[in-house]
Chain A
Amino acid sequence: GQQLNQSPQSMFIQEGEDVSMNCTSSSIFNTWLWYKQDPGEGPVLLIALYKAGELTSNGRLTAQFGITRKDSFLNISASIPSDVGIYFCAGQYRDDKIIFGKGTRLHILP
């Protein structure tokens, strides 16, 4: 079945640094989604990507839908303390079928 490889698993960065994470798969997806999860809460949608090659921004966040439709990346510029959390990618390949990566846990060092 479809699988997503999300990397890195965790990141330790200094406040103000830029962050990059990605998801890859051997399968093709129609939609790529990026979610963020804060402690004790459910995932919240950050960015949705619907076309191969699409580059979309949401404030300091930028995500791209890979040309091959098998990968996506998320960049966060100038990180701030509230960026701490777990980031999940998700690939949708049918109206009712979506799979999630295992998450990237972002830590920001004081």
Chain B
Amino acid sequence: NAGVTQTPKFRVLKTGQSMTLLCAQDMNHEYMYWYRQDPGMGLRLIHYSVGEGTTAKGEVPDGYNVSRLKKQNFLLGLESAAPSQTSVYFCASSYPRGNQPQHFGDGTRLSIL
């Protein structure tokens, strides 16, 4: 009963390096989301997807790209990591109906040196 799985759980990068965070869900959810969580800021939406092959910008999309090639996977990419992107990243998924709550993964803790 995996739910939403994020990999990796921890990562340290140097400024300018690139990396991809993977989110996988086994609940057949249409919608998937990437958030970042910073102290005192709550959860802020980076990008989201309402279905395979679709993506849309959230509240804080700059410096990130996403892809949804398969329904069960949602990838978050950092092209050139910056210290300001040090954060905990959470993936979530949900059914498309408006009253279906989001289910979260356990997060990826990313540090940019």
Contacts and interface: CB of A to CB of B under 8 A. Distances in A.
Interface stretch (B13-21, B36-44, B70-78): B36-44
Contacts of A45: 101-103
Contacts, number: 60
Nearest to B90: A42
A88 B43 contact: yes
A53 B92 CA distance: 28
**Number of chain A interface residues as a range:** 20 to 34
Given A33-B101, A43-B90, A95-B97, A103 B48 contact: no
Contacts of A40: 106-107
Contact of B42 (A30, A92, A94, A103): A103
Contacts of A101: 42
Interface string B38-59: 0011111100101000001001
B1 interface: no
Contact of A31 (B31, B90, B98, B106): B98
Contacts of A50: 99
Interface of B: 4, 31, 35, 40-45, 48, 50, 56, 59, 90, 92, 96-99, 101-107
